[in-house]
Structures are given as structure tokens and as C-alpha cells.
């Protein structure tokens, strides 16, 4: 009886560790090869998209200082898809979302094709140090 309890506890511990490693692996999946943002970035990217670019710069948008993100993505699947990009500046309590593509008939990124969008945070004159990026597919 004592051996069975010990074996089942070991099994539960191993399964928990496997689950934790799986979650950690998924949280970082999808990051582009390089970015110029000097921040801790957490990535939650759907498997149906490949990020090709993620850059940030402080500039002017609409006549106001803005933190501007340039996001490039590619559709690696064999069907047309529409995406939703959400960026959260966690240390500044700000967020923005963008549909990619924004318009079109139908509004989709064709298989093997890419799109680039600029997402401004108007009124933000410095870079964030903690960013969460979520990219998922949506129905068009």
C-alpha cells in the first residue's frame, strides 16, 4: 500500500511538471526572430500565424507623441484567414487591438501572403518595459 501511494504521488508530480513545461513553451511560441523593442515581451501567438516583424519606436502620430508598433505577419496555412492583434503595455495599463486586414472583400490574408500594420499608442512618449502580445485568428 505504501509503495502504491508513493508511485501515484510520483506520477502526479511528473504530470504536473510536464503540464508546466508545456504551458511555458506555449507562452513563448510565435515570437519573431528579432525585435528592436527593449522590453520583456510575453508572446501568445496562434499556430495559424507567423510573426515576421515586431518593432517599436517613439514617434509622432496624429500630431501627438506616440509609441508606434510595426507588426508583420504571414499566413502559413492553406486557407485565407483574418487575425486579431492585441498589444498590452502592462507597466502602463494601456492596450490596443487591430484586425488584420482591416478591410477587404473578404477581409483575409491569403495563404502564403503577409501583411504589415502600424499600431500607435497615442499620447505615449516612452517605450514600455513589459509587453503582452496576443495574436489569434478571427471569423471574418
Report residue 11's pLDDT band, with 50, 70 and 90 as the boundaries.
low
> What share of the chain has pLDDT > 90, as a percent?
72
Instruction: Name residue, grid cell 502504491.
Output: 4
- Output the pLDDT for position 33: 80
Q: What is the DSSP string of the chain?
A: -HHHHHHHHHHHHHHHHHHHHHHHHHHHTT--S-----SEEEEEE-TT-EEEEEEEEEEEETTEEEEEEEEEEE--SSS-BEEEEEEEETTTTEEEEEEESSS-SS--BPTT-EEEEEEEEET--S--SEEEEEEEEE--
Report residue 73's pLDDT band, with 50, 70 and 90 as the boundaries.
very high
Using the predicted structure, report yes or no on whether residue 13 has a pLDDT greater than 50: no
Q: How many CB atoms lie within 10 A of CB 39?
A: 15
Using the predicted structure, report yes or no on whether residue 51 has a pLDDT greater than 70: yes
Report residue 8's pLDDT band, with 50, 70 and 90 as the boundaries.
low
Question: Is domain 31-138 given the CATH code 2.102.10 in the classification?
Answer: no
For the chain, what are the domain ranges?
31-138
Amino acid at each position: 500500500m505504501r509503495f502504491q501511494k508513493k508511485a501515484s504521488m510520483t506520477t502526479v508530480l511528473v504530470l504536473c511538471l510536464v503540464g508546466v513545461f508545456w504551458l511555458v513553451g506555449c507562452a513563448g511560441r510565435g515570437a519573431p526572430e528579432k525585435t528592436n523593442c527593449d522590453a520583456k515581451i510575453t508572446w501568445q501567438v496562434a499556430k495559424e500565424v507567423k510573426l515576421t516583424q515586431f518593432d517599436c519606436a517613439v514617434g509622432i502620430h496624429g500630431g501627438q507623441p506616440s509609441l508606434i508598433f510595426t507588426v508583420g505577419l504571414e499566413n502559413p496555412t492553406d486557407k485565407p484567414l483574418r487575425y486579431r492583434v492585441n498589444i498590452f503595455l502592462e507597466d502602463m495599463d494601456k492596450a490596443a487591438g487591430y484586425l488584420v486586414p482591416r478591410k477587404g472583400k473578404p477581409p483575409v490574408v491569403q495563404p502564403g501572403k503577409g501583411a504589415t500594420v502600424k499600431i500607435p499608442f497615442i499620447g505615449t512618449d516612452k517605450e514600455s518595459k513589459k509587453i503582452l502580445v496576443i495574436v489569434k485568428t478571427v471569423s471574418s
